[in-house]
Amino acid sequence: MLDERKLAVLRAIVEDYVSTTEPVGSKSLVDRHGLDVSPATIRNDMAVLEEQGFIVQPHTSAGRIPTDKGYRLFVDRLSSIKPMSTAERRAIETFLAGACSLDDVVTRTVRLLAQLTRQVAVVQYPSLSRSAVRHIELVSLTPQRVLLVLITDNGRVEQATVDLPDAAEPESIAHLRAVLNACLDGHRLSDAAKTVAVLADRIPVSERPNAGAVFSVLLDSLADRHEERVVFGGTANLAAPDFSRGLRDVLEALEEQVVLMRLLGEAASPSALTVRIGAETGLEGASVVSAAYGAGGQAVAKLGVLGPTRMDYPGAMGAVRAVARYVGRILGEA
Amino acid sequence: MLDERKLAVLRAIVEDYVSTTEPVGSKSLVDRHGLDVSPATIRNDMAVLEEQGFIVQPHTSAGRIPTDKGYRLFVDRLSSIKPMSTAERRAIETFLAGACSLDDVVTRTVRLLAQLTRQVAVVQYPSLSRSAVRHIELVSLTPQRVLLVLITDNGRVEQATVDLPDAAEPESIAHLRAVLNACLDGHRLSDAAKTVAVLADRIPVSERPNAGAVFSVLLDSLADRHEERVVFGGTANLAAPDFSRGLRDVLEALEEQVVLMRLLGEAASPSALTVRIGAETGLEGASVVSAAYGAGGQAVAKLGVLGPTRMDYPGAMGAVRAVARYVGRILGEA
DNA sequence: ATTGGCACTCAGGGATGCTGAGTGCCAGGC
DNA sequence: GCCTGGCACTCAGCATCCCTGAGTGCCAAT
């Protein structure tokens, strides 16, 4: 029902509209692309495409613009991911190579993605549950309060303060630390729950309330809650006339971790790209291109860009894919 | 040259303009405020105020709006800081009380300030140089790479990876850690430089290259660079029709640490408020209300809000002052 | 199936005119 | 000397109108 030429017309409409921001008409289409037919023919094709819901007219006697469905078809079948130029690859590499901590990697990745795509970039911190404990440190702040620091094998450092039910002697804290490190060192955080259950045996009864407080913070607070940390950047790119009305919604979504997580979508295998278009994102007129990244074949988190529905999908997909790969590599080394 | 009534007129103009966003004329002034004179009198006063540069007409036959100079006078002499309601105080307290790590305190503070003022909130991390070392941890990642974790007495945790010139045995790393902790524990970071210089003596010659690498990261990277970390939030509040044109500039400024630091201004004594208006901020049409906060009389960092020049200064000042105090208290306890 | 021709539609951009809020100035009153 | 009422003047904003040009849909001819 959609022959070659009609698909070509749709592709041309998407490309033109993305670059000009204006409804594209039959005449300019034949001019700008090497279509060897007359405008009238194109008009017939466009009528069919409109009937099928791929394009619409904003008003009578205007050109056509793609619908979400039109972009969908474009992304799925009519476009190919645009590979990065060698200059861009080099820029990515040098930009990320200078990072000296996990925070630094994430921060730089956000800036990089935002710059490459000229959109808002979103990066999720690597998941803790898949990483292993390298070291646990307990530092007493006051007699009834300790600082718990968790260091994982992928270089992530998490901290939390724990309020103890009883005042604790320095020795008992030292003992607790020793026990924790002895039992958890090298273990996956996702397995930690079982391991911790066994631990109680090794703690003197008098210390158990305190130990329990530390355990629960370790499990709940660190493993679960912080797992969802997501940062964003490049909001200045929203100031373009895009998002004329939805701007506030977009900015609010960005500052809401939960929404941000949902935007990045379900976990997928590394470097598989996910594209959500328009209504699929839950945000009016916005699209999200995202990918999982990870070290050594294991997906640990996601990153992506958010832009107007009318965005350069091939370019964004290329950038997201490339950055996801490089970040995975960097993390793998660390 | 400016009698009581003229000042009252200026105050009324600022208040009305801030709340209505529209140039205010002589008639509406006498109506809305209890001025016992005729519009004509007000007009004469306004003519004087305009001549002195406190107000302008956007165009002939429109009302007046305050100039930067007008806002300045308003802030300095015509307004008083609006104290928080008890409900607001309670909200601040409960909102900040739940924080369990320094990151958490900062994140919550940003959200809180943004919500209270309906502006963009900016918070600088507490300075490291004034705080003391509580613990230093070295964790080897690979033979030639260690993770350095620094824990300070105000609960801040800093991390960095160090590339070693030579491969290091686990024992030598353990030794280095012991030496570092023995010598730096309890010392101010600002004094650390001298202390570290002495340290070299206690390290075997063969280990000195590695130790040097660790020292330099410890001093440079942690104490200096990260000191300037600033976070912001509440950008959705920019979506109001304010900043119609300068939006992009503002968003760009927010993502540039250096600019952000400049906006917060020079250090000052705790809870002394700084107000920068319009051109003083370097941003078109923007104003910044900021304050230093700190634990125990010592200023450690600044926080504030950024909004349109036409903002509710008394309210913003009240919120900034209150939040700065509470944050200082929280940090003092930790 | 494609094409040229033709009538039709309508957003966007001036041009025009009106209205109302607001001003400046002046002459008279306290 | 300061305040006030009156009056003429200005001009942004809004509505109205018109025109143009890009773009369409349809149809008959190829």
User: What pLDDT, on a 0 to 100 scale, did the predictor assign at position B334?
Assistant: 57
Task: Assess whether A57 (CB) lies less than 7 A from strand D.
Answer: yes
8 A C-beta contact, residue A29 and residue A240: no
pLDDT class of A2 with cuts at 50, 70, 90: confident
Q: What is the largest CA-CA distance in chain A?
A: 89
Q: What is the mean pLDDT of residues B256-279?
A: 85
Nucleotide with minimal C1' distance from the CA of B36 is: D3
CA–C1' B55–C29 (A): 31
A320 alpha carbon, distance to own chain's centre: 9
pLDDT of residue B208: 78
Q: What is the pLDDT of residue B292?
A: 92
Q: With CB atoms and an 8 Å threshold, state whether B139 touches A139.
A: no
The residue type found at A15 is E
For residue B279, what pLDDT is reported? 92
pLDDT at residue B200 tops 80: no
Closest CA to A120 of A322, A301, A329, A286: A286
According to the model, what pLDDT value does residue B69 have? 95
Query: Looking at beta carbons, which residues of chain B come within 8 Å of A252?
Result: 236
pLDDT in tens, B57-87: 998 888 899 999 999 999 999 999 999 999 9
Q: Which residues touch strand C (CB under 7 A)?
A: A 5, 36-38, 40-41, 44, 59-62; B 23-28, 39-40, 43, 46-47, 50, 57, 60-64
Q: Confidence class of residue B226 from pLDDT cuts 50, 70 and 90?
A: low
Give me the pLDDT at residue A127, please.
78
Q: Residue B56 CA to nucleotide D8 C1', Å?
A: 23
Binned at pLDDT 50, 70 and 90, residue A327 comes out as: very high
Q: Which residue has the higher pLDDT, A299 or A75?
A: A75
> How many degrees, rounded to 5, is the angle at CA A303 between CA A299 and CA A309?
135
- B235 reaches A (C-beta below 8 A): yes
Q: In Å, what is the separation between the CA of A61 and the C1' of C16? A: 27
Mean pLDDT of A8-35: 91
Burial of B298 (0-12, 13-18, 19+ CB in 10 A): middle
pLDDT-derived band at A150, boundaries 50, 70, 90: confident
Higher pLDDT, A234 or B192: A234
Confirm whether any atom of chain D, the nucleic acid strand, is less than 7 Å from CB of A6: no
Section B274-286 average pLDDT: 92
Q: Which pairs count as long-range contacts for A18-24, CB under 8 Å and 24+ apart, including other chains? A: A18/A310, A18/A311, A18/A312, A21/A241, A21/A310, A22/A63, A23/A57, A23/A58, A23/A62, A23/A63, A23/A64, A23/A65, A24/A63, A24/A64, A24/A65
Q: How far is A248 from chain B (nearest CA, A)?
A: 5
Q: Any CB–CB contact under 8 A between A239 and chain B?
A: yes
Query: Which among A100, A236, A334 is the nearest to B251, CB-wise?
Result: A236
Confidence of residue A178 (pLDDT cuts 50, 70, 90): confident
Helix, coil or strand: residue B290: strand
Distance CA A316, CA B12 (A): 51
Determine contact, residues B69/B53, Cβ cutoff 8 Å: yes
Q: Decide which of B239 and B92 is more confident.
A: B92
Pick from A61-65, A78-82, A288-292, B197-201: least confident: B197-201
- B111 membership: H or E segment, kind and range: helix B102-117
Nearest to B222 by CA among B289, B120, B128: B128
Check residues A3 and A153 and name the one with the higher pLDDT: A3
In strand C, which positions have an atom below 7 A from any protein CB? Answer: 2-5, 8-11, 20-26
pLDDT of residue B286: 93
A44-62 average pLDDT score: 91
* Per-residue model confidence as pLDDT tens digits over B119-132: 999 999 887 777 78
Q: Residue A267 has what pLDDT?
A: 64
- Indicate yes or no: CB of A236 within 8 angstroms of CB of B252: yes
| Spatial distance from the CA of A139 to the C1' of C15 (Å) | 78
What pLDDT is stored for residue B54 in this prediction?
96
Q: Do A254 and B247 touch (CB under 8 A)?
A: no
Determine the average pLDDT of the residues in A77-86.
94
Least confident interval from A80-89, A148-157, A185-194: A185-194
CA of A40, C1' of D1: distance in angstroms: 82
Which residue does chain B place closest to A162, by CA atoms? B100
